[in-house]
Amino acid sequence: MSALETVAVAFWLMLPAYIPNNTAVVFGGGRPVDMGREWNGTRVLGDGKTWRGSASGVVAGFVLALFLNEALARGYVPEFLPTFAPLAALGLALGAILGDMGASFLKRRTGRERGAPFPGVDQLDFVVGAFAVTVPLAPGWFFDSFTPGVLAVVLVITPVLHVSTNFIAYKLGLKDEPW
Ligand code: CTP
Ligand code: MG
Ligand code: K
């Protein structure tokens, strides 16, 4: 694979994990996942993690992966791009949402209010979550697709994409903070 192809594969493979949290921003609201419960005097997750946002995010990431498979099957995109095993599609989308939730849990435990930045964690929580869920669900697919080179590219491009898309979402009035 050329360097450019490696970057394209990394971006392609991560799309089902990139979309869920942005979808949650758009469709989120309503009942919080933690049902308002506290742990040691602080919310378990906070009002920023809702059932509607989480469910819409998982569905969007999963459905996107199916569309990407279809685009490949129809020859709309270059053949070197990989297909998504169904369990991989689920793992990437669900894991991204769970990773972001895990970060909120950590934020609340470390005294960070809802919306407070947590540099480093904010940019990679969903990547860690996506991998942590996809590896056990689809180990063969994962290690075939995410070669060491692809993994390295993911770790570099994800924070850059995260910072820029969140800035745009903030400017568009979709997000309250630019992170
Ligand atoms: N959102 C949601 N459900 C999720 C994730 C996000 O409903 N699982 C929505 C919420 O409206 C949230 C917004 O998307 O406020 C922005 O997401 P995020 O920045 O992750 O949440 P924060 O409000 O910053 O909360 P936290 O400090 O817990 O990250
Ligand atoms: Mg936030
Ligand atoms: K977050």
The ipTM (two decimal places) reads 0.98
The pLDDT assigned to 133 comes to 98
The pLDDT assigned to 149 comes to 97
Distances 74 to 5, 66, 84, 89 between C-alpha atoms, Å:
20, 12, 15, 19
Reduced to 3 DSSP states, what percent helix, strand and coil does the chain have, rounded to the nearest 5?
65, 5, 30
Which residues have CB under 6 Å of ligand 1?
A: 21, 24-25, 28-29, 46, 48-50, 53-54, 97, 100-101, 104, 107, 114-116, 175
Beta strands in the chain (DSSP E): 38-39, 42-43
Q: Select from 31, 49, 52, 94 the residue to mutate for testing ligand 1; criterion: most ligand atoms less than 8 Å from CB.
A: 49
The pLDDT assigned to 88 comes to 98
Per-residue pLDDT band for 115 (boundaries 50, 70, 90) equals very high
Contact 49, 78 (CB under 8 A): no
- State the average pLDDT over residues 113-127: 96
- State the average pLDDT over residues 156-168: 95
Residues 6+ apart with CB under 8 A from 101: 33, 45, 49, 54, 129
Per-residue pLDDT band for 158 (boundaries 50, 70, 90) equals very high
